[in-house]
Amino acid sequence: MAKPSFSEDNNSAPILAWNQQKALLQGEILVETRSHSAWGGAVTAHMYLPIARSHVWQQLTDYPRWVQYFPDVIQSEVLHRGEVKRLYQVAKKAFLFLTAQVEIYLNVFEVLGQHIQFRLEKGTFTDFTADLKLQDCGNGTLLTYSVQATPNIPVPTIFIQQAMHMELPENMRKMRQVMCSAWRSI
């Protein structure tokens, strides 16, 4: 099997070892967590999609559809379209006997077909940023999703990191399943 070629239109391509590239092509989600502030966490995940980048882009920028990708997101609405989009999202999460609901208003910056940046305007987080990057990878696309967030309630960073590390791969598998199903039905 020939080595896949990972390329991007700018110089911020992740450096992935051959065994990581092979794992991605076999459907694994690669996840790296790190601390972010005293009460926050940060995570970067890589996922291979056997779909052309233009098709992935069309689906990612259909923001109301994010409720299908992330089971905890119960509302995703574009409030303003333009050069900078404004997005409103609500998520609900159950923890043991508690259910927490968060809402967030985001400014969304897009570089056509390559990069989406989400920046906190206001919401139930002290800070929140997310970046989605798309790269060509053989006949498909490498999606890199980086998130860093600090909830406005004090939760030890280790718990935030563990939750991100466990939940993001499942969410991304769901995203891949939905995107691949939609692409096959075209």
Question: What CATH number did the domain enclosing 176 receive?
Answer: 3.30.530.20
Question: How much is the pLDDT for 11?
Answer: 41
Q: What is the spatial distance between Cα 102 and Cα 109, in angstroms, rounded to a whole number?
A: 22
Question: How much is the pLDDT for 102?
Answer: 87
In a domain, 78, yes or no: yes
Q: What is the spatial distance between Cα 166 and Cα 149, in angstroms, rounded to a whole number?
A: 16
Give every CB contact of residue 184 below 8 A, 6+ residues apart in sequence.
Answer: none
Handedness of CA 133, 47, 6, 50 (dihedral sign): negative
Question: How much is the pLDDT for 1?
Answer: 33
Residues 76, 85 contacting (CB under 8 angstroms) = no
Helices (H) and strands (E) in the chain, counts: 4, 9
In a domain, 50, yes or no: yes
Question: How much is the pLDDT for 123?
Answer: 94
Question: How much is the pLDDT for 166?
Answer: 77
Number of domains the chain contains = 1
Mean pLDDT by 10-residue block, N- to C-terminus, for the chain (186 residues)? 38 67 91 76 92 96 95 95 96 74 94 97 93 94 92 68 77 94 72
